[in-house]
Amino acid sequence: MISRISAGLLSATLLINYSLCAAQDQGDVYFTNGVHNNLGCNKSNGNCIAKRNPEDPSDPFFPATWVSDWIMYRVTQNYEHNPPPYSNPPETLKAEDYTVSHGTSYYDTTYIPADGDGYGAMMEHYENYCLPIFPIKDNNYTCSFISLGNKAYFLTYEKDRPKTMPECCLFSPMNHPARQDFIQHLPYSPVRSQNLQGSVQAYALDVASPQGPILFGYAFYKQATRSGVEQSLFRHPQSFYFSGDTTLANAPIVSQNYVNFRIEKPDPAKTWDLVAQKCPINPEPCQLFNPPESLANGAKPQWNNLQPTNP
């Protein structure tokens, strides 16, 4: 692999321009606004904790273990006046405004990796269409992002793997799963919370970049419900929405809308064990933001040029 990856998992990988060289020296450790590591978070910026107003609702939390399918909408038009969060399917958009794909997320905060480096595990599996945040022309392939403790990996599959992509590569040595209270790092959005007839608590962060603001947002249902008859009440996640790549992937807005979110311990054989099966002992760093010529035209990505928000 001729170049090193410039970001961690999108599930809150917020990179900043000034830290790129330093991050490379530290082994691909990047600023994530406190969600995946503590780089760049200190007393001067409130440790990357978003301020809450007295009238804001209490923060929702992830359950300790959960599994959820989701439907991903890649919105290509009419999003300017119809921002997320979206219903499922998006009622404020027309069918020709988006494409549809599917995937599943797995989460276990109790997981301890064999090497003892950190804790927690999360897998985001994209079936037949990979996450469109990279400057890659064709995202029609299956991929998975797996965080085990502090390390994060990117996996592809034989059935549809692009010829120039490896079976496994290392995203970052310090990119742990989002913690159960990760939402504390995102500002509450009263305006976005009016979407879906006011049934959600929406959070959004617009991070500056040379190409313009990059959106990272999350929505939870306001009403606590149960995912099983004998399970506790909690506010279920509704969607994860963000800016995608606009140079090649044509993904100005992407929304992963959760379906059948349930408290369940993931099966290691179908999730975490894939890393040991598919990855060498020391996998090479990824190059998704700097793909080979066969996959991209050299356009510069957006997500690896983000800049810090002033405290």
Half-sphere exposure for 213 (CA within 13 Å, toward CB):
10
Is there a domain that residue 2 lies in? no
- What separation in angstroms does the CA of 216 have from each of 65, 149, 254? 23, 23, 10
Task: Please give the pLDDT value at position 214.
Answer: 83
Provide the number of structural domains found in the chain.
1
Q: What is the pLDDT of residues 165-210, one digit of tens each?
A: 899 999 888 999 999 999 999 999 999 999 999 999 999 988 766 6
Is there a domain that residue 243 lies in? yes
pTM of the model: 0.86
Chain-centroid distance of CA 104 in Å reads 12
Site of tokens 């050299």: 298
Is there a domain that residue 288 lies in? no
Query: How far apart, in whole angstroms, are the C-alpha atoms of residue 286 and residue 73?
Result: 25
Task: Please give the pLDDT value at position 230.
Answer: 82
Q: What is the domain extent for residue 29?
A: 17-278
CB under 8 Å to 228, separation ≥6 — which residues? 262, 263
Q: Are 65 and 110 in contact (CB under 8 A)?
A: yes
Is there a domain that residue 130 lies in? yes
Is there a domain that residue 4 lies in? no
Task: Please give the pLDDT value at position 306.
Answer: 38
User: Under DSSP, is residue 238 helix (H, G, I), strand (E, B) or coil?
Assistant: strand
What are the phi and psi torsion angles at 98 (to 5°)?
-150, 160
CA angle 38, 306, 211 (to 5 degrees): 170
Task: Please give the pLDDT value at position 298.
Answer: 41
Is there a domain that residue 272 lies in? yes
Task: Please give the pLDDT value at position 285.
Answer: 87
Query: How far apart, in whole angstroms, are the C-alpha atoms of residue 273 and residue 280?
Result: 13
Query: How far apart, in whole angstroms, are the C-alpha atoms of residue 77 and residue 71?
Result: 18
Q: Which residues of the chain have pLDDT under 50?
A: 1-25, 296-308, 310-311
Q: Are 165 and 155 in contact (CB under 8 A)?
A: no
Task: Please give the pLDDT value at position 304.
Answer: 40
- Closest by alpha carbon to 19, among 43, 1, 37? 37
**Residue type (1 letter), 231:** Q
Is there a domain that residue 297 lies in? no
Which alpha helices (H) appear in the chain, and where do they start and end? Answer: 20-25, 195-198, 273-278
Q: Are 149 and 120 in contact (CB under 8 A)?
A: yes
Task: Please give the pLDDT value at position 133.
Answer: 86
Is there a domain that residue 91 lies in? yes
CA angle 197, 198, 201 (to 5 degrees): 140
